[in-house]
């Protein structure tokens, strides 16, 4: 028997379900149309973004060369261990830590700081042993790769460190600046010295590799490559050999020296001690090393040549002499009597001892204070300051280095502005011998001595030869030749018979001027005469040969007591090297016993 059920309700409702099915599938088709046809370009872009990554190929920075072409700063290939961080789990970190001898916490810290989708450098400047250990674990550590990158290297280590500068990762504060436009976080830029000043010129053009990566971030193919372009090298006026001699001459004492060509302003050597090794900064400096450098009371990070400001002491007498002669308040023949002190303006101003009757030449040679007290009284502060400023005091020299100090040349207007009190005539007396408020950097004083050396022109110191616009020509100051000749005679006598005799060379005539910059008041020093930190700084300015100078020099030895004792021998060593007198068989150094066998 066949029972036919009534299926009419079922069939009508089934028809409804069929319609629902069609509508649902049609809705899906519409969505796929939207994704695949309407927005296809957008998603194709996202997919492309997914699969390709740009790997920067760092361009080697341009080398810094000395005047003979010797490499002062170069690049060497180094290994970076790079981790693709997408799949970096604890086990991987632990394994890497053991293989590379890097603390796990250090790796983790780098992973936390990473940018999304960027490989992380786990260890910079890895050793060959590290690389070999990684190769042996290739299969266990597929996410780890080794890349070869150029690393900044300073073959002279700490020599000329302050002039050359250092590189470091671009800081958060630098990123938005116009001069660093286009640089990514992590880029290496100059952070001090010439590296910073000429950063843009030295940086090459980074290349890149566009690589196809899978979802684990591992490279599967290279799609495109653009080779990096090396930065152009920069030739400096520095003489590496003279630089080395200058560094040696300090024998570990704190201080600085700068030698320049008085005819052009080219810097021949520039040293500031203590120094640091810029190689320690190239891979990201160790925090404890940084802390010790930054907190060292001897401030090894400071470039004393352009940032150290000191009382010029008696070296200021070069300026006072020039001013007095040019303003006509004295002639070279003018004499003053030195009883060992000068009582004026209700104050007693001291001299080292009683010099007797002094003319200008002997006053410079013996650094007689009383003579220059008299000069100061006659010149007054306005005319003294006018000439000091003409010769470069109180204004930056404009050398091609960042963060230069300007020093200070006080005037009555300055005092009124800053202290709201009038200038006292007695202050001029102190300033005339380089004490009081006046302060200058060693480079400023080298510029002063160069004025006498080159016959009255103010040089514009320069480290880079013919780069970035080149150095500006020395500026004539309009000083009478008789004035220059008279000051020069005095400086000749300083070395020949006066306070600077320790700088004397047998074969080359040296002109100079000693100076001592008081650190504390005389009375305080007399209470504890052997406390090193309270001793005055020793200055020595020099140029040579006397008749046709090719080198001008400023030397400052911190707490060296007197310039004649401390700075003049340093200058002599530098000059001896410059004139080739420190080589075996060269004429000996006159006047001083040959105590050291040099080199």
| Residues at the interface with other proteins (CB under 8 A) | 2, 5, 7, 9-11, 13-15, 17-18, 21-22, 24-25, 28-29, 31-33, 35-37, 39-40, 42-44, 46-48, 50-51, 212-216, 220
Q: Report the residue count for the chain.
A: 599
CA distances to 335, 355, 372, 435, 526 from 522, in Å:
27, 20, 19, 12, 6
When the beta carbons of 85 and 569 are compared against other proteins, the nearer one is: 85
The least CB distance from residue 33 to other proteins, in Å, is 6
User: With respect to other proteins, which residue has the nearer C-beta, 5 or 530?
Assistant: 5
State the nearest-atom distance from the C-beta of 216 to other proteins, in Å. 7
Of 120 and 305, the one with the shorter C-beta distance to other proteins is: 120
| Min CB(145)–other proteins separation in Å | 17
Which is nearer to other proteins, 43 or 419 (by Cβ)? Answer: 43
What tokens were used for 79? 């290994």
Side by side, the strands of the sheet bearing 207-213 are 52-57, 207-213, 219-226
Quick one: 18 or 115, whose CB is closer to other proteins? Answer: 18
| Residue 36 or 331 with smaller CB distance to other proteins | 36
Nearer to other proteins (CB atom), residue 17 or residue 139 = 17
Shortest distance, position 468 Cβ to other proteins, whole Å: 46
Instruction: Annotate 94-150 with DSSP letters as a single string.
Output: HHHHHHHT--HHHHHHHHHHPPTT--EEEEEEE-HHHHHHHHHTTTT-TTEEEEEEE
Shorter beta-carbon distance to other proteins: residue 13 or 225: 13
CA distance 559 to 537: 4
Q: How far is the CB of 86 from other proteins (least distance, A)?
A: 9
Collect all residues with Cβ–Cβ distance below 8 Å to 72 and sequence separation of at least 6.
63, 64, 65, 66, 154, 155, 156, 160, 164, 236, 238, 240
Q: State the nearest-atom distance from the C-beta of 91 to other proteins, in Å.
A: 19
Beta strands in 262-410 (DSSP E): 267-273, 336-338, 341-344, 347-350, 356-358
Asked if 153 contacts 175 with a C-beta cutoff of 8 angstroms, the reply is no
Task: Give the separation between CA 481 and CA 401, rounded to whole angstroms.
Answer: 32
5 alpha-carbon distance from chain centroid: 101
Provide the strand spans (E) within 406-474: 457-458
Q: How far is the CB of 43 from other proteins (least distance, A)?
A: 2
Closest to other proteins by CB, 116 or 173: 116
Q: Which of 243, 240, 322, 262 has its CA nearest to residue 552?
A: 262
The nearest distance, CB 106 to other proteins, in angstroms, is 24
As a whole number of angstroms, the distance between CA 239 and CA 526 comes to 42
Distance, CA of 373 to CA of 382 (rounded, Å): 15
Q: How far is the CB of 36 from other proteins (least distance, A)?
A: 4
């Amino acid at each position: 028997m066949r029972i036919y059920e009534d299926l009419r309700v079922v069939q009508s409702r089934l028809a409804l379900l069929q319609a629902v099915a069609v509508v649902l599938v049609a809705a899906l088709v519409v969505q796929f149309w939207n994704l695949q046809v309407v927005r296809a370009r957008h998603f194709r872009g996202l997919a492309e973004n997914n699969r390709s990554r740009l790997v920067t190929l760092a361009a080697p920075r341009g080398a810094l060369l000395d005047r003979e072409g010797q490499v002062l700063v170069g690049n060497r290939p180094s290994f970076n261990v790079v981790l693709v961080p997408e799949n970096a789990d604890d086990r991987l970190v632990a394994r890497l830590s053991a293989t590379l001898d890097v603390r796990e916490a250090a790796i983790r810290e780098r992973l936390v700081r990473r940018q999304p989708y960027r490989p992380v450098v786990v260890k910079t400047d890895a050793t060959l042993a590290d690389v070999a250990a990684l190769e042996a674990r290739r299969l266990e550590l597929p996410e780890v790769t080794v890349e070869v990158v150029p690393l900044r290297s300073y073959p002279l280590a700490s020599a000329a460190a302050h002039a050359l500068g250092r590189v470091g990762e671009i800081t958060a504060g630098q990123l938005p600046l116009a001069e660093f436009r286009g640089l990514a976080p992590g880029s290496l830029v100059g952070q001090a010295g010439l590296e910073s000043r000429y950063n843009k010129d030295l940086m090459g053009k980074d290349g890149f590799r566009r690589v196809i990566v899978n979802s684990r971030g591992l490279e599967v193919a290279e799609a495109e490559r653009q080779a990096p372009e090396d930065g152009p090298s920069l030739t400096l006026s520095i003489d590496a050999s003279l630089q080395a001699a200058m560094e040696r001459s300090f024998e570990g004492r704190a201080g600085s020296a700068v030698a320049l060509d008085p005819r052009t302003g080219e810097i021949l050597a520039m040293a500031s001690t203590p120094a640091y090794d810029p190689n320690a900064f190239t891979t990201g400096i160790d925090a404890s090393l940084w802390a010790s450098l930054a907190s060292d009371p001897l401030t090894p990070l400071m470039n004393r040549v352009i940032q150290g400001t000191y009382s010029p002491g008696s070296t200021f007498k070069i300026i006072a002499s020039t001013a007095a002669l040019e303003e006509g308040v004295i002639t070279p023949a003018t004499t003053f009597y030195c009883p060992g002190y000068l009582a004026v303006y209700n104050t007693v101003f001291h001299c080292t001892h009683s010099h007797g009757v002094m003319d200008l030449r002997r006053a410079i040679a013996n650094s007689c204070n009383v003579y220059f007290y008299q000069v100061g009284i006659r010149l007054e502060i306005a005319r003294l300051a006018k000439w000091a400023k003409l010769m470069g005091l109180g204004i930056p020299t404009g050398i091609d280095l960042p963060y230069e100090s300007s020093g200070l040349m006080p005037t009555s207007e300055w005092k009124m502005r800053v202290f709201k009190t009038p200038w006292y005539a007695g202050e001029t007396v102190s300033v005339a011998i380089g004490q009081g408020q006046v302060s200058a950097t060693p480079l400023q004083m080298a510029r002063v001595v160069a004025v006498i050396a080159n016959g009255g022109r103010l040089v514009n110191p320069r480290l880079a030869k013919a780069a970035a616009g080149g150095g500006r020509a020395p500026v004539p100051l309009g000083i009478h030749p008789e004035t220059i000749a008279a000051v020069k005679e005095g400086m000749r006598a300083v070395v020949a018979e006066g306070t600077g005799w320790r700088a004397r060379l047998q074969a080359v005539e040296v002109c100079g001027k000693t100076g001592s910059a008081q650190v504390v008041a005389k009375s305080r020093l007399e209470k504890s005469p052997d406390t090193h930190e309270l001793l005055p700084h020793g200055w020595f300015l020099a140029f040579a040969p006397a008749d046709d100078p090719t080198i001008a020099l400023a030397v400052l030895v911190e707490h060296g007591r007197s310039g004649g004792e401390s700075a003049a021998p340093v200058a002599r060593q530098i000059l001896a090297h410059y004139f080739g007198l420190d080589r075996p068989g060269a004429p000996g150094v006159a006047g001083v016993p040959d105590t050291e066998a040099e080199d």
